[in-house]
Chain A
Amino acid sequence: MNDSSKTSSSLSPEIKALLQSRREMFSQANVPSVLPELHRRIRTAAMERTSLRQTLRTRLSEWAAVLLDLNPAARLSYAGAFAAVALALFVGLQQSWKSGNADGANGAPLLTLNQASNTTDATGGAEQDKVSYSLNNIDSANNLPSAASVSLDQKIDQVMADADDLSHDAVSAHYVLTRTPASYDSVVAF
């Protein structure tokens, strides 16, 4: 208690005495205990919790009883409907997975730039830019993504975008194939 830590205060002894009289006021007063009210509240809270659990259990039991009381034909039709929904869900998910694995827009082969290099002809001719790229395709026979990755080197023309002619900035360069690769029908921008 506070005897040891009391500090000097500006309170007069009369006001201190008045404040301290509050404690005696309650200890001598015939104030009813809070225990009966507390027990009532604890009981009510417990009953509410029990009542909630009971209601939930009753509802579930009723629902199960209604389901089990159905005649065999109705039960069969419920089971059939459930199976149909499950099957539709399964097929939908499978289709979604397949289309997700088919790279490129609308299943078109996606050309991926692996490397761009600038070389000079052995004869000392003009500079040639070569690209190496790979193509992921769909195996049309099996309708599955093709695992094979194809690379090809080909002479290309380089067109600089947003850069002057002196700067061969590979990042901003556009590579244009001078001829269509013989083995592929479709080339997507890269």
Chain B
Amino acid sequence: MPASSHSPEESDQELVRRTQEGDIDAFDRLVERYENKMRVTIYGIVLNHHDTQDALSETFFKAFRSIGNFRGDSEFSTWLYRIAKTTALNAWRKTKRRPQTIQTPEGDEEFNENNNFIDTNISSDVVRQMGNQELQNKLNESLAQLSEDHRTVVTLFDIQGLSHAEIAQIMGCSEGTVRSRLFYAHKQLQKFLRNYI
């Protein structure tokens, strides 16, 4: 579709309003704005690239179909994160029912080979010494051992950098619950990864 002629500083609310009036270009802008954030979030839950791409497409498709009902009671991003979280968890449950596990899917190896993101922001020398791909795989294995709620909280807080209040809104629980889930998840991750880092 053609690029929108509107200014790049348009707010989410404005783009949502235009989408609700039938302007698909406005929705494209929202997709471009949030695509990467949703991709990272979904990957943190489903832990493989193939399912991430499918769930990402499904997330935006659901958002497009339901945007007419969005009344702006919460931020658009919160609403979108909620859809992404639900879609990702559904994809994760489907993956778990499949006979083969998701430990090191071929798609992920291909993704890692094609994208050289090694050592981008990891400052520790220990981390540098280990292969980044192996570390990422170990992280995935550790995250996979967490419960769905704990994995989601870690993804939204440690990877996405959202606040406790935002996470509480997305997950439909109290901030206290978010804190306690984070505390437990961090302890578990520390235990799982202590031999590798």
Contact = CB atoms under 8 A, between A and B. Distances in A.
Given A12-B190, A38-B57, A25 B127 contact: no
B161 A1 contact: yes
B173 interface: no
- B-side binding surface: helix, strand, loop or mixed? helix
A26 interface: yes
Given A12-B190, A15-B193, A26 B40 contact: yes
A14 B126 contact: yes
Most central of B24, B44, B60, B165 by chain A CB within 10 Å: B60
Interface stretch (A27-35, A95-103, A162-170, A179-187): A27-35
B190 A15 contact: yes
B144 to A, nearest CB: 14
Contacts of B121: 17, 20-21, 24
Interface stretch (A2-10, A106-114, A115-123, A149-157): A2-10
B151 to A, nearest CB: 11
Interface of B: 1, 24, 28, 31-32, 35-36, 39-40, 43-44, 53, 56-57, 60-61, 64-65, 111, 114-115, 117, 120-124, 126-127, 132, 135-136, 139, 154, 157-166, 179, 182-183, 186-187, 189-190, 193, 197
Interface of A: 1-5, 7, 9-35, 37-39, 41-42, 45
